[in-house]
Amino acid sequence: MSRGRTERQVTGAIASVANTLGRFASDVIMFMSPGYRFISLKDDLTTGSSIMPQKKNPDLFELIRARCNRLQAVPGEVALMTSGLPPGYNRDFQELKAVLFDSFEGIMELVQVIGGGLEGLVVRKDILSDARYNDIFSVEEANRMVLKGVPFRDAYREVAKKAGSGSFDVPLPEEYTHTGSIGNTGTELIRKRLDGLMESFTPGCSPGELCEKIRN
For 138-160, the pLDDT digits (tens) are 888 888 888 889 999 999 998 88
**Which has the closest alpha carbon to 121: 39, 199, 50?**
39
Average pLDDT value for the chain: 84
Dihedral angle at the C-alpha atoms of 132, 136, 139, 142, nearest 10 degrees?
-20
Distance CA 33, CA 54 (A): 12
149-187: burial string, b at 16+ Cβ within 10 Å, e else: eeeeeebbeebeebbeeeebebeeeeebeeeebbeeeee
Whole-model pTM: value is: 0.71
Give 69-73's long-range contacts (Cβ < 8 A, gap of 24+).
69/18, 69/22, 70/106, 71/14, 71/15, 71/18, 71/103, 71/106, 71/107, 71/110, 72/15, 72/18, 72/19, 72/22, 73/15
For 76-113, the pLDDT digits (tens) are 999 999 888 888 888 888 999 999 999 999 999 999 99
Q: What CATH number labels 5-123?
A: 1.20.200.10
Distance CA 41, CA 173 (A): 26
Q: pLDDT above 70 covers what percent of the chain? A: 89
15-49: burial string, b at 16+ Cβ within 10 Å, e else: beebeebbebbbebbebbeeeeeebbbeeebbeee
pLDDT surpassing 70 at residue 205: no
pLDDT surpassing 90 at residue 11: yes
Write the DSSP symbol of residue 86. P
For 16-34, the pLDDT digits (tens) are 999 999 999 999 999 998 8
> In the prediction, which pLDDT does 49 show?
73
Q: What are the extents of the domains in the chain?
A: 5-123, 131-175, 186-216
pLDDT band per the 50, 70, 90 thresholds, residue 202: low
